[in-house]
């Protein structure tokens, strides 16, 4: 199997796995760190009316109502048709919702310097680190100078780390022992690796946090690095 064919196979597995997970667990409420990011950086709703935002890999659309409440012109794209359908059904009509697309970052779905605010939460770590860098460079190209983004990465303390087929130093195709995550590829990073990745993609880091969540009677530890970044040039 060629490298291109292998990448396509992994992407297809990720799309099917994520679609199944969205159908099983439709998240309706925004992540608290995304709420805090917006509250900290964009408290002036009048100014927000002149800004565009996009949720990359939006899943069930859990952040859209929040973004529209903040008065942004709101866009979103996801590589799953199921996600587009689910989010469209939930959201209905809102003048602030400007468009949902089925698209991959590599499709370059929007022009350069189109967005002021980018939400890239729970999505960037499905690819290998070299591909993540290319994805983040594409995200950077869509952002206006001075724009900001919140994104997260799985840490190497996560309970999923090391479970499955290792395809490089940081990435695993998860196995049946991970339950609903089976066949999805995840990349896990140290704090330094995540910072270097963002810097190489052209972002300046404004804040860094870590979130640990114990689930299922403390049997699963989910843990993420969370970054707020800015495009300087």
What values do phi and psi take at 182, rounded to 5? -55, 135
Length of the chain: 233
The residues that bridge with 185 in the sheet, in sequence order, are 173
Q: Angle CA(193)–CA(195)–CA(199) in degrees, nearest 5? A: 115
Sketch the domain layout of the chain as residue ranges.
3-231
* CA distance linking residue 42 with residue 217, whole number of Å: 37
List the one residue out of 180, 213, 160 whose CA is nearest residue 23. Answer: 180
The model carries a pTM of 0.88
* CA distance linking residue 133 with residue 217, whole number of Å: 35
* CA distance linking residue 59 with residue 22, whole number of Å: 6
What is the topology classification, in CATH, of domain 3-231?
A: Rossmann fold (3.40.50)
One pLDDT digit (tens) per residue for the chain, 233 residues: 544 444 454 455 444 444 454 445 556 789 999 999 999 999 999 999 999 999 999 998 999 999 999 999 999 999 888 888 888 887 777 889 999 999 999 999 999 999 999 999 999 999 999 999 999 999 999 999 999 999 999 999 999 999 999 999 999 999 999 998 999 999 999 999 999 999 999 999 999 999 999 999 999 999 999 999 999 97
Crossing angle of helices 191-200 and 129-142, rounded to 10°: 50
DSSP calls for 10-52? HHHHHHHHHHHHHHH----S--HHHHHHHHHH---HHHHTT-E
């Amino acid at each position: 199997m060629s490298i291109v064919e292998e990448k396509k196979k992994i992407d297809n597995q990720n799309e099917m796995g994520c679609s199944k997970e969205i159908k099983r667990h439709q998240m309706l409420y925004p992540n608290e760190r995304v709420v805090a990011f917006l509250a900290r950086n964009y408290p002036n709703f009048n100014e927000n009316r002149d800004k565009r935002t996009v949720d990359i890999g939006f899943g069930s659309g859990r952040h859209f109502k929040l973004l529209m409440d903040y008065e942004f012109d709101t866009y979103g794209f996801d590589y799953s048709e199921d996600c587009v359908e689910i989010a469209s059904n939930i959201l209905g009509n809102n003048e602030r919702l400007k468009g949902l697309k089925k698209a991959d970052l590599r499709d370059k779905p929007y022009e350069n310097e189109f967005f002021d605010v980018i939400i890239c939460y729970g999505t960037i770590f499905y690819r290998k680190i070299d591909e993540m860098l290319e994805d983040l460079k594409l995200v950077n190209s869509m952002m206006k100078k001075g724009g900001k983004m919140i994104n997260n990465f799985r840490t190497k303390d996560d309970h999923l780390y090391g479970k499955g087929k290792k395809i490089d130093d940081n990435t695993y195709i998860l196995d049946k022992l991970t339950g609903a995550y089976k066949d999805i590829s995840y990349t896990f990073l140290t704090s330094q690796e995540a910072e270097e990745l963002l810097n190489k993609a052209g972002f300046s880091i404004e804040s860094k946090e870590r979130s640990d969540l114990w689930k299922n009677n403390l049997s699963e530890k989910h843990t993420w690095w969370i970054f707020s970044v800015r495009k300087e040039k």
